[in-house]
Homo-oligomer: A and B are copies of this chain.
């Protein structure tokens, strides 16, 4: 009997169609209100979610590879070095990096350093009157050597603790101003960027296919007139970011070259283009200027005839250009589309809920309407015949 009941249930489940019964209230006020709310929700779902925010698309982030090539020559004339020419091999350190390149703009050079004993650079912790002020084996925070415990003359007026170090020690108290290689402003860089969206197996280069070789040989990036030229003048990069190259060259700094690839892969291939923008990445705030700007120390090593090693220490100030590539590609995909449609349909139900609240709580005729909408089903015990149920058994 139970199985027969189950069969009937299953039969009914498959072959009967159940649709909610509807009370159709013929009231212009509510009808129009209901449609307006639904229209609003529909407009939001279609206009905002689908058209504006491309809710029908699946997204992927970019995988990128960058190479860069700097060009330019500068001449300097200083008492220490004489007239000297600086080319790419001199001022780009290290010669190649992955997503960045560094251009030297200022320099404190200490030539012919050898390992030995010499007075330390005088500062708060190294100036001394006698050997009692110096502790053998002590390494001061800013020093590049180990104190021997002696107090020796740094120059005619000042005595400082002797250190075992690369001697003579570097004196970085006075930074050349204006910057040593201020001509770097006119150097140019060619940036080649290859991007890939793994999910869609879509790849593109920042040298666009419609660009000719002759154009590339003469063009220079300009936000207005040459927005797709991959050759940049260093000075323009800095000024586009609202900074002064002359100022930045002195202490060095970090510049971000941002390449944004926002691609709608449902559109044409040629519509997917890079957008360049520039931003200074290091802090300019004067109130916490602990090691401001950007610099590092690099050395060239030599050996003399007696096989003694010497080095030229360079405290190199300069601008590191970080090439930050980011962006997303969107392409039609059924999953987000369906999620958004489903969610939108559910939101349409809100219209009915809202209208119900207004009609059945605030309308004058609410008791009349309620009577039509609700069928009160009492519990057995309290059954009474005062409700609408036409044909009780």
Interface string of A221-250 (1 = CB under 8 A from B): 000000000000000000000000000000
A388 interface hit (Cβ, 8 Å): yes
Contact assessment for B375 and A213 in the assembled complex, using a CB-CB cutoff below 8 Å: no
The stretch from A125-133, A171-179, A203-211 touching chain B is: A203-211
A22 interface hit (Cβ, 8 Å): yes
Interface string of A99-120 (1 = CB under 8 A from B): 1101000000000100100000
Question: Which residues in B have their C-beta under 8 angstroms from that of A256?
Answer: 65, 194, 196
CA distance A207 to B339 in the complex (A): 39
**Which residues of A in the span 120-170 have a Cβ within 8 Å of any Cβ on B?**
139, 141, 143-146, 164-166
A326 interface hit (Cβ, 8 Å): yes
Contact assessment for B339 and A23 in the assembled complex, using a CB-CB cutoff below 8 Å: no
CA distance A55 to B371 in the complex (A): 39
Contact of A20 among B23, B33, B341 (CB under 8 A): B23
Question: Which residues in B have their C-beta under 8 angstroms from that of A164?
Answer: 75, 83, 85
A7 interface hit (Cβ, 8 Å): no
Task: Kindly report how many copies of this chain are found in the complex they form together.
Answer: 3
Contact assessment for B216 and A290 in the assembled complex, using a CB-CB cutoff below 8 Å: yes
Q: Smallest distance from the beta carbon of A299 to chain B beta carbons, Å?
A: 4
Question: Which residues in B have their C-beta under 8 angstroms from that of A88?
Answer: 144, 296-297
CA distance A35 to B13 in the complex (A): 9
A279 interface hit (Cβ, 8 Å): yes
CA distance A340 to B30 in the complex (A): 28
Contact assessment for A31 and B15 in the assembled complex, using a CB-CB cutoff below 8 Å: yes
**Which residues of A in the span 1-32 have a Cβ within 8 Å of any Cβ on B?**
12, 14-28, 30-32
Q: Which residues of A contact B (CB under 8 A)?
A: 12, 14-28, 30-35, 44, 48-49, 53, 55, 61, 63, 65, 67, 69, 71-73, 75, 83-85, 87-90, 92-100, 102, 112, 115, 139, 141, 143-146, 164-166, 190, 192, 194, 196, 198, 203, 205, 207, 209, 211-213, 216-217, 254, 256, 258, 260, 279, 281-283, 285, 287-291, 294, 296-305, 307, 311-313, 316, 320, 322, 324, 326, 334-335, 338-347, 349-350, 352, 355-356, 359, 365, 368-369, 371-380, 382, 387-391, 393
Q: Can you list 5 residue pairs at the A/B interface with Cβ under 8 Å?
A: A15-B26, A19-B356, A65-B281, A65-B322, A209-B285
